[in-house]
Structure 1
Amino acid sequence: MENTVLSLKHIVKSYPGVVALDDVSVSFNKGEVHAIVGENGAGKSTLIKIVAGAIQPDSGEIVVNGKLYQKLEPQESILNGISVIYQEFNLFDSLTAAENIFIGEKISNKPFVDYKEMNKKAEEIFKKFNVDINPNKQVKNLSPAYKQIVEISKAIHKNSKIIIMDEPTAPLTIAEVEKLYEVINDLKANGTTIIYISHRFDEIFQLADRVTILRDGKYISTKNIEDTNRQDLIRLMVGRELKNTYPSSDIKQGEIALEAINVSGNGVIDVSFHVKKGEILGFAGLVGAGRTELMRVVFGADKLVSGEIRINSRKVKVESPARAIELGIGLIPEDRKHQGAFLQKSIRWNISISNITKISKYGVVSRSTEKEQANSYQNQIRIKAHSLEQQVQNLSGGNQQKVVLAKVLATKTGVLIFDEPTRGIDIGAREEIYHLMRDLANQGKAIIMVSSDMEELLGMSDRILVMSGGKLTGELLKSEFSQERVLELASSDK
């Protein structure tokens, strides 16, 4: 107990109709990486918000640094050396990267802000990640990966004694993840406690000393990492065995569905590729490689400067996303919360919006057709919700992703682009998404998958294309798949 810096005892938190945490007790030790795992809805987010003081428990006790609290206010949490890096960014978009890190602090004894000194200090922090982030750049103009690094930099700068990381590597590439591991190990060596929430088991087994499993708001178990394994954790998380995480193809691939020939634009340089009907084509690369940028050009969201796009061997002009959908191209974007779904609208509304003209007559939406369509997709891809009128923002990450998928499927597109399809999604929901993707491919749809998850790339792809610096640097057939080869091509300056 002398080594314990934070304890939660018999914590209960309820919302109307839902018990988010049901008598949960868990403790965290000084200088350990303590992972918390569980499916979406297990209670992980509620637990960390209670520690952060963002919400208060209905009952129970919190002991931090030897002090007993019935609840924590946000300022009390901060004064106790607790920092939280949320999965959803907590940044000021209109401020620079440096301003976000040092907000509320006096950098020097001068009567005004010493921007030169502030930027210098920010650059020193960024060097720990070996990334070149301009400290003067507004956060709204940073990629998701760089936004995450700014979030982590804020916590590191504060010298927090307890840092909670909620899916910190979700937007990071392999190289950046390795750098984060180094930072975490340095923090741990200096006595900092890391509470680490992740759906990625390779991270948990590489970083964690102990792991606590939650299920349906209940505490299940805490294990030393050397005393457990992947299958054991999955069984404890979901209450059942999961097999065949990555389903294999059941059909022979068909003709070429989409072809890009010498495509340039949006930072992409002279890229050519094709995807066949029934194929899942994976795209690998580091941040800045140009994968998402290429998909935005193909989808018409950004301008095609040169080259051409062919659909079913026919040259087409994709001037806009609306035109892409007409031509049979659908995109499930990287950022589902800001680009993929209307969070404050209902499931029914979201599924209908991209297909509104097809369920309308003389400009009037057929409510019966709309409801029938939404019901069909809810059943088909197993969206878990109380009703079709439930707001998307109140769904789990996995079910939000399914709504985005249903919205795209309703347009009846033949080519589907999945950009980071399982980011922030638990293992059970991931398996469902993977089977849905393979089912769609088996139905003859062409699937393009951009992913920074190496295991996902190798497990789901029929073929992998690798990009670096806006260029295509290699192609790997199934028989050639290996993490080492992907990394080699991803680091190429070809």
Structure 2
Amino acid sequence: MDSPLLELTDIAKRFGATIALNNVRFDLRSGEVHALMGENGAGKSTLMKILSGNIQRDAGMITIDGKPVDIRSPRDARAQGIAIIHQELNTVPAMTVAENLSLGQEPRNRFGMLDRTRVLRDAREKLARIHADIDPSRPLGSLGIGMQQMVEIARAVSEKARVLVLDEPTAALSRTEAQQLYAVVNRMRDEGVGLIYISHRMEEVWQLADRITVFRDGTYVGTGTRDELSETDVVRMMVGRSIGDLYRHEPRTPGDVVLDVKDLAAEGLGPVSFQLRAGEVVSMSGLIGSGRTEVARLIFGADRRKGGVVTVNGKPSHPVDPSQAIADGLAMVPEDRKGQGLFLDHSVERNVSISSLDQFVSGEVVQNRAVRQAVLQQMERLRLRKNAIDLPARALSGGNQQKVALARWLLRDSAVMILDEPTRGVDIGAKREIYELIDALARAGKAILVISSDLPEAIGIADRVLVVRGGRIVQELLADAATEENVMRHAVGASADYQTPNTGAQP
């Protein structure tokens, strides 16, 4: 067996009274992909921050090629050949791709001025190494997240990284972009780079990883090869229990129509017609760019519709902005929780209460004590620590941020809930809690529309699946008929005999 390229032994870290890492270990070999898995708060990010030099370990040893190293800053990490591609990209969107690739290494001409010709030439060479077909003269911010990520990887490769950490690299990528990333990962492994792959997505871990290590609550649980471990084994290691079928729920009985959408249209979208009933969960599935999110935004007043009629509990809803949609009984958790769903620098209390303050006014004065008590009740319902109420939202893990976004609408008690990618970037334990919440809300009479790129999720939690392609609903499938193959067949247009959707069907 090859000696480890990188070895972390008995690493410990404490933040005040909180033990973040308790003598954990991890090792990485050249030319392998080693997945690091665990729920949010398991200690994965803390260990990577120690490896990158952003924080200091309290105890333990780091060795590279069997020799102890002391990493006290990101510069030290780079000098050791360690590069990290964070989920939140470390790039400058206003600068070009080439300028981003040369940051900190800007070539100069004989007059001491920036050599722009060489910047472009070097950028093309760096992108070519990872087979990325990107115009280096384009502003980075004009590219999709997937291509921006490729630019970061190209920079890491150009710096001769021997250890590359990828933190939730596909969280915001389309299926095509993810496949491009997988190809880059496999090429780098073939070239002898050691890759640490952090992900909550079982399917990609099983596609890429040679070995898997699991942390739980800041402790090391175990390591095994892909052949030695099953998905069930990994889930049990992550959560400390067997959680059974993630999507299991008892049959639900839908009631009256709550949301009725008829001939909804906008530029390049529609007409779209469907209904949501009280007590049911309907998934909207389709490829990236099919128009799922656009439909949700039109209903919620985030974008202007060009035609169509939307009614909520029999009353017309014509919101020109989300505030009117909220008043009509609609709620929406957007796919970009950080950019659109939360006020990251404001407290949890502020984020949860912001859409419901009108319910706590007496004599034109907001009753702050009542607001706080109501927020605490929703936090308890979602298993959020009460002492987090005054923390800024950005201080929470991704899973807990999503719970805060959900808590806002639980407090509002809206009739219709639109959840766009509700479990993106959320660990498997938190996913189960969100699925249980969705089921409980449906049983309490809410009408719930879920948009999800995770096909097993979209099918497993729903009573009906609406398949979207080219800005239209091309098929409606009841739960019993909604297999992954069937949904994908309609999503890509592989079926030659689409039926007219029965938009008013009751399961």
| TM-score calculated relative to the size of structure 1 | 0.91
Report how far residue 96 of structure 1 moved: 3.7
Residue by residue over 1:109-131, the C-alpha shift from the partner in whole angstroms, topping out at 9 and shown as x without a partner, is: 79532376577568757965x8x
Residue by residue over 1:213-264, the C-alpha shift from the partner in whole angstroms, topping out at 9 and shown as x without a partner, is: 1111111111122111122112211222212311324431122222332223
Q: Which moved more, 1:175-184 or 1:433-442?
A: 175-184
Residue by residue over 1:352-377, the C-alpha shift from the partner in whole angstroms, topping out at 9 and shown as x without a partner, is: 11111111223321022112211221
Q: What pairs with 1:109-188 in structure 2 (closer than 5 Å)?
A: 111-114=114-117, 117=121, 128=132, 138-156=139-157, 158-188=159-189
State whether residues 11 and 24 of structure 1, in contact with CA within 8 Å, keep that contact through their aligned partners in structure 2. yes
Whose radius of gyration is greater, 1 or 2?
2
Residue by residue over 1:186-239, the C-alpha shift from the partner in whole angstroms, topping out at 9 and shown as x without a partner, is: 221121211011111122222111111111111111112211112211221122
How many Å separate the matches in 2 of 1:134 and 1:282? 37
Q: Which moved more, 1:66-75 or 1:348-357?
A: 66-75
**SS of residue paired to 1:227:** coil
CA shift in 2, pair 1:116/1:2, >3 Å: closer
Q: List gaps (5 residues or longer) in structure 1.
A: none
- Work out whether 1:7 is the aligned partner of 2:10: no
Match of 1:475 in 2: 476
Q: Which amino acid is 1:433 matched to?
A: I
**SS of residue paired to 1:212:** strand
How many Å separate the matches in 1 of 2:2 and 2:319? 64
Match of 1:212 in 2: 213
Q: Which amino acid is 1:204 matched to?
A: V
Q: Which amino acid is 2:292 matched to?
A: R
Q: Which moved more, 1:295-304 or 1:107-116?
A: 107-116
How many Å separate the matches in 2 of 1:64 and 1:106? 29
Report how far residue 147 of structure 1 moved: 4.3
Q: What pairs with 1:219-368 in structure 2 (closer than 5 Å)?
A: 219-265=220-266, 267-368=268-369
CA shift in 2, pair 1:263/1:97, >3 Å: farther
Identity of aligned residues (%): 38
Q: Which amino acid is 1:112 matched to?
A: D
Report how far residue 136 of structure 1 moved: 5.3
Report how far residue 483 of structure 1 moved: 2.4
Match of 1:36 in 2: 36
State whether residues 60 and 70 of structure 1, in contact with CA within 8 Å, keep that contact through their aligned partners in structure 2. no
Q: Which moved more, 1:230-239 or 1:310-319?
A: 310-319
Q: CA RMSD in A?
A: 2.7
Q: Which moved more, 1:424-433 or 1:297-306?
A: 297-306
**SS of residue paired to 1:226:** coil
Q: Which amino acid is 1:113 matched to?
A: R
Report how far residue 140 of structure 1 moved: 4.4
Match of 1:441 in 2: 442
Q: What pairs with 1:91-110 in structure 2 (closer than 5 Å)?
A: 91-106=91-106
CA shift in 2, pair 1:148/1:480, >3 Å: farther
Q: List gaps (5 residues or longer) in structure 2.
A: 499-507
Q: Which amino acid is 2:76 matched to?
A: E
CA shift in 2, pair 1:405/1:140, >3 Å: farther
How many Å separate the matches in 1 of 2:155 and 2:277? 45
User: How many residues were matched structurally?
Assistant: 491
How many Å separate the matches in 1 of 2:152 and 2:266? 30
Match of 1:78 in 2: 78
Report how far residue 93 of structure 1 moved: 2.9
CA shift in 2, pair 1:142/1:465, >3 Å: farther
Residue by residue over 1:50-96, the C-alpha shift from the partner in whole angstroms, topping out at 9 and shown as x without a partner, is: 11111111222211244422334211212222221112222223224
**SS of residue paired to 1:24:** strand
How many Å separate the matches in 2 of 1:483 and 1:108? 54
Match of 1:413 in 2: 414
How many Å separate the matches in 2 of 1:178 and 1:328? 40
Match of 1:89 in 2: 89
Match of 1:432 in 2: 433
| TM-score calculated relative to the size of structure 2 | 0.89
How many Å separate the matches in 1 of 2:203 and 2:144? 24
How many Å separate the matches in 2 of 1:98 and 1:267? 33
Report how far residue 144 of structure 1 moved: 4.4
Match of 1:376 in 2: 377
How many Å separate the matches in 1 of 2:233 and 2:166? 23
Match of 2:58 in 1: 58
CA shift in 2, pair 1:252/1:134, >3 Å: farther
Report how far residue 176 of structure 1 moved: 2.8
How many Å separate the matches in 2 of 1:410 and 1:28? 46
How many Å separate the matches in 2 of 1:191 and 1:235? 32
Q: Which moved more, 1:32-41 or 1:275-284?
A: 275-284
**SS of residue paired to 2:249:** coil
